[in-house]
Amino acid sequence: MIIQLQENVSAQERQDIASALSSISYKGNDVKTQFGDYIICVGKKEFDIRGIGTLPGIKDIHRVSDPYKLVSKKWKVNNTVIDLGDGVTIGDGGFSIMAGPCSIECEEQVDDLINHLKENNVRIMRGGVYKPRSSPYSFRGLGIDGLKMWYEKARAAGIKIITEVMMVEQIEDMLPYADILQVGARNSQNFNLLDALGQVDKPILLKRGVSGTIDELLYAAEYIFSNGNEKIMLCERGIRSYEKAYRNCFDINAIAILKDKTHLPVIADPSHGIGIRAYVEQIALASIMAGADGVIMEAHKVPEKAFSDGQQTLNFRQSSLTIKKMRKTFDLNLAMNSW
Ligand code: PEP
Ligand code: MN
């Protein structure tokens, strides 16, 4: 059960609500976010919701049978919209594209990418400055100085930045320079990191774990929300399977299911999802038909020379074509949805 409190709820009213909850053996967890004051109630007993819902100080009350509550669509019918400012929004019914290299490498590369994005009217650039790499000997990113360099250039071009944060200790330094903080697949259940990201007022893109279930992804999002941050997007990036013909098994089912279960925007990552450049476009288009609110994909002027993930990275010609086809597909899907 979720209780939404009124903005001006008094201490006495809170006390009375707490007493009413304990009288039916429900445990209340206080949650305060950028947008509201909630009590998340967990208990087993059947009771008449009107007995609590009519108490002073309560704005609304919802029964949510899902084990995750705040991220469930069962209480919030309107989809969450992430507003990055300057007219860039995600989840408002439009289609969002985030594109860029796997890793930020140098100034020239950032300039090339920004020009490419501007030519294609893409407003959000992806790139890692802290890279989770399977081998410790691989390129691990330019760090905070790389982010600052990128930020100067992106800001001047009116482009927003999405970049991965790997550790709680990195958050504070990164905050001024990132528009979206990405939680990578390997950190999808790093609960300390999720707790900390719940305490900042910055949109979070949360990736599904390498072998994470859909429920585990929703629980991870609940960590962020229940710590106070409602600005969350979920990302399907493929899961580990027995198949060796591709890098990850992009779970198209997850897109459709997540769109039904949660009010949070759902973003597809076809680059990591299949891990092979030649097929990224097909998976991107399929994810749009499955209901994705946006796509995050890897692009580079010369993918063969990329410091990481070159094998799944599109060159600018491929990227431009994919962007065009994605927009057409999104419009087509939208039109068909009104049939
Ligand atoms: C990335 O976005 O480059 C990345 C490392 O993604 P993931 O966490 O999905 O592997
Ligand atoms: Mn990558």
pLDDT single digits (tens) 198-242: 999 999 999 999 999 999 999 999 999 999 999 999 999 999 999
C-beta contacts of 109-112 below 8 A and 24+ residues apart: 109/300, 109/301, 110/149, 110/150, 110/153, 110/154, 111/153, 112/301, 112/316
- Listing DSSP states for 229-298 in one string gives ---EEEEE--B--S--SSSSB--HHHHHHHHHHBSS-EEE-HHHHH--HHHHHHHHHHHHHTT-SEEEEE
Q: CATH number for 82-337: choose from 3.40.50.720, 3.30.930.10, 3.40.720.10, 3.20.20.70.
A: 3.20.20.70
For residue 249, the SS3 value is strand
3-state helix, strand, coil in the chain (%, to 5): 40, 20, 40
* pLDDT at site 292: 98
What are the start-end ranges of the E strands in the chain?
A: 2-5, 27-32, 37-42, 58-62, 82-85, 88-90, 96-100, 124-126, 160-164, 180-183, 204-207, 232-236, 266-268, 294-298
- From the CA of 238, give the closest atom in ligand 1: 9
Establish how many alpha carbons lie within 13 A of residue 99's alpha carbon, considering only the half-sphere containing its beta carbon: 32
pTM recorded for the entire structure:
0.97
* pLDDT at site 45: 79
Tokens of 322: 């994919």
Domain ranges of the chain: 2-62, 82-337
For residue 34, the SS3 value is coil
Measured on CA atoms in the order 115, 119, 125, 130, is the torsion positive or negative? negative
* pLDDT at site 7: 95
Confidence of residue 50 (pLDDT cuts 50, 70, 90): confident
- pLDDT beyond 90 at 77: no
Q: Verify whether ligand 1 is closer than 6 Å to residue 2 (CB atom).
A: no
- From the CA of 296, give the closest atom in ligand 1: 2
pLDDT tens per residue across span 129-163:
999 999 999 999 999 999 999 999 999 999 999 99
Nearest Cα residue to 227 out of 244, 253, 254, 206: 206
* pLDDT at site 339: 95
Q: What are phi and psi of 28, to 5 degrees?
A: -105, 135
* pLDDT at site 319: 99
- From the CA of 132, give the closest atom in ligand 1: 5
Domain spanning 2-62, CATH class? alpha beta
Nearest Cα residue to 39 out of 23, 55, 25, 21: 21
DSSP 8-class letter at 139: -
pLDDT tens per residue across span 98-110:
999 999 999 999 9
Ligand 2 centroid to residue 272 C-alpha, Å: 6
Query: Which of 98, 102, 187 gets mutated to test ligand 1 (max ligand atoms within 8 A of its CB)?
Result: 102
Ligand 2 centroid to residue 300 C-alpha, Å: 11
Q: Can you tell me the distance from the alpha carbon of 259 to that of 291, in angstroms, rounded to the nearest whole number?
A: 7
Residue with CA at minimum distance from ligand 1 atom 8: 184
With contact defined as beta carbons under 8 Å apart, do 320 and 281 qualify? no
Query: Which of 205, 269, 280 gets mutated to test ligand 1 (max ligand atoms within 8 A of its CB)?
Result: 269
Instruction: Give Cα separations from 95 to 7, 18, 320 (angstroms).
Output: 33, 42, 16
Q: Can you tell me the distance from the alpha carbon of 257 to that of 338, in angstroms, rounded to the nearest whole number?
A: 20
Confidence of residue 12 (pLDDT cuts 50, 70, 90): very high
With contact defined as beta carbons under 8 Å apart, do 29 and 40 qualify? yes
